[in-house]
Amino acid sequence: MKSSVASTKKYCNSLVQYSRRKTIPVQVGDVVIGGNNPIVVQSMTTIDTMDTMGSVEQTLRMVEAGCEIVRITAPSLKEAENLRAIRDELRKRGCNVPLVADIHFTPNAAELAAQIVEKVRVNPGNYADKKRFENIEYTDETYEAELDRIRKRFTPLVELCKAHGTAMRIGTNHGSLSDRIMSRYGDTALGMVESALEFLRICEDLSYDQIVISMKSSNAQVMVEAYRLLVNKLEEEGLKPYPLHLGVTEAGEAEDGRIKSAVGIGTLLEDGLGDTVRVSLTEEPELEAPVARKLVDRYATRSSHNEIKSIGESPIDPFAYHKRGTREIVNIGATNVPRVIADFSQLENVGIKDLKSIGHFYLPEPDKWTMNDQGADFVYSGSQVIPFMLPNGIRSLIDYPVWNSLEDKKNRHPVYSLKQLQAAEQCDDTLNFLKLSADDLDDETMAILEADNLTVLLEANNAHKMPALRRFFFELEKRGLKVPVIITNNYQVKDEEQFLIDASTDIGGLLVDGFGDGVMLSAHSSDDLDRLKLKNQTAFGILQAGRTRMTKTEYISCPSCGRTLFDLQETTAKIRKRTDHLKGVKIGIMGCIVNGPGEMADADFGYVGSGKGKITLYKGQDVVKRGVPSEHAVDELIEIIRADGKWMEPQAVEF
């Protein structure tokens, strides 16, 4: 049953059987990351590190919420020193949670912290380098000289960690790669991996291996590729299998933050990667651990899932995004954005007002229909016929026996089971839907998929859902079949947060590999209109997090930490209120100018704290206005968006 993955593409034990990657154990105080140990949940404080009691109280709340390791920022020596007071107070109160010092730019703070706390996190992009956004031409000799310089700067920290039994995380961030890495590798997954390997090779030379590695990005696609490539390169170079710390940076808040985290982190967990997880939300830090726990607990009994047919070799490149090529049928497949199908099959007597739950609105004044950015493209009504004309170009999907008996078939398309299609008297000239299970991999079924005008509604009845669905896509790729596929999962929503995590992981993991021409989150018999609304919004949210269909403004907001210069939650809410109609625009909201500009990586515009009550505004990576008083900064940001031609006036569409 085990799948062998060609070594050039290998990044996990198996693509079809859940199996955790075997890593070396790393001792962090009383907690062990990696080895045969359960996946560890961790998080980071947001309070000023100099506020000892505030940090202690917040840490205790985080531990109470399930956090097993707590990270605290140490921007300079004085904060590193204050970690001692925080640690001592926690121990006095009976809390032994291991502490991690978060370091950027300040080796002296790292060296002090390594003697106080159980783990130190360094960012190889800025440990020994100042980022100047310069593109320098390096010869092999000058590059080697740079590596030598880093070795000299980094060795004292490694020696201190060895002497004090302190663990280390080499934490690469997509947004803060050094100018040296950028010049040679560009802004790529390989650049991220190489950034960590430069530091790792030094540690191995010094016989130090208590290391955890991370490859974070706010772009889930980039993050997944980088982690996979890291595992591949570790093996290729004969380096030890170090444990992985998984995280999506600047994921944001509320549903968007949860969906984005699950798409990135969940996709890797599905393939058995990851030994510790941190979910970063722009919310109170004690809200992060429960989300991480829900992500991790999905794998507690995963190994006993139903068998998935083995696959010799992955037919795709797991380290680079390629959209699967499909044929266009009406507005599905090829270069069309992935479509969203709303499922009304469980609703009795569908009325025109019910369409509001899926983003379509009737405006009595001026008597016309409109839709918001999350208006579903199709409605599946099962064995019912929707008794009115659907507005805004929505088409309906109806079960074949009922569709077959209809006189008026305009914009109505049949949904068949395999048996029904094989026995069908007639098919639609333009668009037909075939329900398949991910196990339907036999030659006869595959031959049917060569037909024009056919789209698959694919679901998997397997606890290892994403890999089961992916196996089906692999089969299509191997056979060169271009049939479009809508991913069709059914969830009973008992806990909204768990639902967001489950759906985002199961579907997002496919989107990041370029699979899926649409999503239908099928209706459960218990779903009311509120649930259908949630499912519709979640479908659009997952497509956005997978960067396959942008329908909302994207906020790349940092989770905040002891460096934060303004109230991130309040400011994010303020900016969101004014800009959340700007479809597809990416706005970075960063608490400090030290890391913010780098961390917001691919944001179109940036709002970055640069002093008490002062904001610096960016267009891409370029500063447009410095030191703007915070009370005017949102207006100024909007002016910058307007000057760039990306501003639109908001329209009232709800009634």
Q: Which range binds ligand SF4 by CB under 6 A, 52-60, 90-98, 161-169, 559-567?
A: 559-567
Q: How far is the CB of 278 from ligand SF4 (least distance, A)?
A: 12
Regarding 592 and contact with ligand SF4 (CB under 6 A), the answer is yes
Cα end-to-end distance, the chain, whole Å: 55
Residue 650 per-residue DSSP state: -
Position 590 contacts ligand SF4 (CB under 6 A): yes
Backbone φ and ψ for 247, nearest 5 degrees, come out as -170, 150
Nearer to ligand SF4, 87 or 563 (CB): 563
Q: Which is nearer to ligand SF4, 59 or 522 (CB)?
A: 59
Residue 326: which residues within 8 A CB-CB, separation 6 or more? 333, 334, 482, 483, 484, 485, 517
Q: What are phi and psi of 79, to 5 degrees?
A: -70, -40
Q: What are the backbone angles phi and psi of residue 229, rounded to the nearest 5°?
A: -65, -35
CA-to-CA distance for 199 and 196, rounded, in angstroms?
A: 5
Nearest residue (CB) to ligand SF4, 251 versus 519: 251
Count of Cβ atoms closer than 10 Å to residue 436 Cβ: 24
Q: Which position among 564, 571, 572, 630 is part of the footprint of ligand SF4 (CB under 6 A)? A: 564
Q: Choose between 504 and 564: whose C-beta lies nearer to ligand SF4.
A: 564
Least gap, CB of 599 to ligand SF4 (angstroms): 5
**Does the protein bind ligand SF4 through residue 559 (CB under 6 A)?**
yes
Minimum CB separation from ligand SF4 for residue 591, in Å?
A: 3
Interface residue with ligand SF4, options 561, 615, 624, 641 (CB under 6 A):
561
Enumerate the H helices of 125-188 as residue ranges.
140-164, 179-185
Considering only residues 539 to 558 of the shown chain, the ones binding ligand SF4 according to CB under 6 A are 558
Residues 449-488 that bind ligand SF4 (CB under 6 A): none
Q: Is residue 97 involved in binding ligand SF4 (CB under 6 A)?
A: no
Q: What does the alpha-carbon distance between residue 385 and residue 154 come to, in Å, rounded to a whole number?
A: 69
Cβ-based neighbours of 17, under 8 Å, separated by 6 or more: 1, 2, 3, 303, 307, 308, 464
Q: What is the C-alpha to C-alpha distance for residues 122 and 474, in angstroms, rounded to an integer?
A: 38
Minimum gap (Å) between residue 7 Cβ and ligand SF4: 37
Least distance (Å) between residue 74 CB and ligand SF4: 11
User: Shortest gap between Cβ of 246 and ligand SF4 (angstroms)?
Assistant: 17
Exposure on the CB side of residue 85, measured as CA atoms within 13 A: 13
Residues 4 and 312: beta-carbon distance below 8 Å: yes
Helix (H) or strand (E) holding 342: strand 339-343
Binding flag, residue 110, ligand SF4 (CB under 6 A): no
In the complex, least distance from residue 91 CB atom to ligand SF4, rounded to whole angstroms: 26
Segment interacting with ligand SF4 (CB under 6 A) among 93-101, 207-215, 465-473, 560-568: 560-568
User: Interface with ligand SF4 by CB under 6 A: which range of 11-19, 440-448, 591-599, 613-621?
Assistant: 591-599
Q: How many residues bind ligand SF4 (CB under 6 A)?
A: 13
- Reported as type and span, the H/E element at residue 26 is strand 26-28
Interhelix angle 189-205/220-236, nearest 10 degrees: 40
Q: Residue 75 or residue 484: which is nearer to ligand SF4 going by CB?
A: 75
Q: At what angle do helices 254-261 and 288-297 cross, to 10 degrees?
A: 40
Residues 594-623 interacting with ligand SF4 (rule: CB under 6 A): 594-596, 599
Q: Which is nearer to ligand SF4, 167 or 556 (CB)?
A: 556
Q: Which residues contact 16 (CB under 8 A, 6 or more apart)?
A: 1, 2, 3, 308, 309, 310, 311, 464, 467, 468, 471
Residue 74 in contact with ligand SF4, rule: CB under 6 A: no
Question: Is there binding between residue 252 and ligand SF4 (CB under 6 A)?
Answer: no
Token representation of residue 298 = 């999905």
391 or 620: CB nearest ligand SF4: 620
Biggest alpha carbon distance in the chain?
82
- Contact status: 591 vs ligand SF4 (CB under 6 A): yes
- 13 DSSP assignment: S
Among 71, 216, 395, 563, binds ligand SF4 (CB under 6 A): 563
Closest residue to ligand SF4 in the complex (CB) = 591
Judged by the rule CB under 6 A, the positions of this chain that interact with ligand SF4 are 558-561, 563-564, 590-592, 594-596, 599
